[in-house]
Chain A
Amino acid sequence: MNSVGEACNDLKKEYDACFNSWFSEHFLKGNTNDSMCAPLFKVYQQCVKKAMKDQNIDIQEVKKDILGTDNEKKIP
């Protein structure tokens, strides 16, 4: 899949590949140390955050955590 920022596509692909292998080979096997892809994530993040800002995406709204909080919608 493409990134929201065209300039971030390559960084995203590299990070996604790293993440998917970390998730399968480490995280699901009980190793929660996530330093393996941290450097790739950092550069990819810088790129995405800039692209989001350029596209006027509401960052405050993105930052809100709802899952796992009392703000989750309730099952009627």
Chain B
Amino acid sequence: MPKYFSDTIIFNYNWDQVAQGFWKKYPNPNSKHVLTEDTYEREVRSGKLCSKRLLSKTNNIPKWAERFFHAKHVNIIEESIVDPANKILVTYTRNLGYTKVMSVTEKVIYQESDQHPGKTVALRSAWIDSQVRGFSRAICAFGYERFKKNCNKMVGGFNHVLANLYPLPNTIPNTFATVSAAAKLKDAAKNASELAKSKAVPIYASLHPN
């Protein structure tokens, strides 16, 4: 039985930013396993942008699985449709070759968040399957765990790229507020110490009349 995985991610960026960032997702600090990226096909069909990209990635597998995979890297096909009128970006990614050994298919729908205006919600589904007799269960379990683990890394990497492209507007006031609060405290401390000193001088003077 194939394994199914799903989750929902909120990006603190509006849909236009996420859609633009999507094309600049690589490289990022979490994408060292992504080796190459190419656009294979691209055209506008009834107002929507349809693209197909070819990615190649290193293939990290446990020792016991090496007898099934001989390749050091794996090619990935990523289809995508950008619908700018409805602000929806859908991606569908699958590995090329070795699909009998293990196939990993991922679909992500990026759209404007109803609950969090100005943010983008990503609905992720993934299917992991294997047809290796006697090993499919172990391979699916491995693939599922690896995918789950990599999800956070993928989101972290994408957020890193988005943060570079669009420094968050709400972090600027926050930083500013922290800085000004710290400055105020410093000022208050300085005033207090000066006040204390000014009062201390006469006390000191009165204690040491000479």
**Are chains A and B native binding partners rather than an unrelated pairing?**
yes
Residues of A at the B interface (CB closer than 8 Å) are 1-5, 8, 12, 15-16, 19-20, 23-24, 27-28, 30, 32-34, 41, 44-45, 48-49, 52, 57-58, 61-62, 65-68, 72-73, 75-76
A58 CB to nearest B CB, Å: 6
Q: Are A34 and B44 in contact (CB under 8 A)?
A: yes
Interface string of B30-54 (1 = CB under 8 A from A): 0000111111101110010100101
Minimum CB distance partner of A5 in chain B: B38
Q: Does B137 contact A (CB under 8 A)?
A: no
Q: Are B40 and A62 in contact (CB under 8 A)?
A: yes
How many angstroms from the CA of A3 to the CA of B40 in the assembled complex?
11
How many angstroms from the CA of A49 to the CA of B52 in the assembled complex?
13
Neighbouring B residues of A5 by C-beta, 8 Å: 38
Q: Are B75 and A73 in contact (CB under 8 A)?
A: no
Neighbouring B residues of A1 by C-beta, 8 Å: 26-27, 34, 36-37
Neighbouring A residues of B82 by C-beta, 8 Å: 27
Neighbouring B residues of A76 by C-beta, 8 Å: 4
A42 CB to nearest B CB, Å: 11
- Tally of B interface residues using CB under 8 Å: 41
B14 CB to nearest A CB, Å: 11
Q: Are A67 and B90 in contact (CB under 8 A)?
A: yes
In-complex Cβ contact of A62 among B84, B96, B125, B127 (8 A): B96
Q: Are A4 and B38 in contact (CB under 8 A)?
A: yes
A72 CB to nearest B CB, Å: 7
Q: Are B38 and A67 in contact (CB under 8 A)?
A: no
B172 CB to nearest A CB, Å: 22
Neighbouring B residues of A49 by C-beta, 8 Å: 40
In-complex Cβ contact of B6 among A4, A19, A44, A75 (8 A): A75
B21 CB to nearest A CB, Å: 10
Neighbouring A residues of B44 by C-beta, 8 Å: 27, 32-34
How many angstroms from the CA of A23 to the CA of B43 in the assembled complex?
12
In-complex Cβ contact of A66 among B19, B20, B27, B92 (8 A): B92
How many angstroms from the CA of A49 to the CA of B40 in the assembled complex?
8
Minimum CB distance partner of A75 in chain B: B125
How many angstroms from the CA of A73 to the CA of B91 in the assembled complex?
13
Instruction: Given A49-B40, A67-B81, output 12 extra A-B contacts at Cβ < 8 Å.
Output: A1-B37, A3-B37, A5-B38, A30-B84, A34-B44, A45-B40, A57-B54, A62-B52, A62-B77, A66-B92, A73-B105, A75-B4
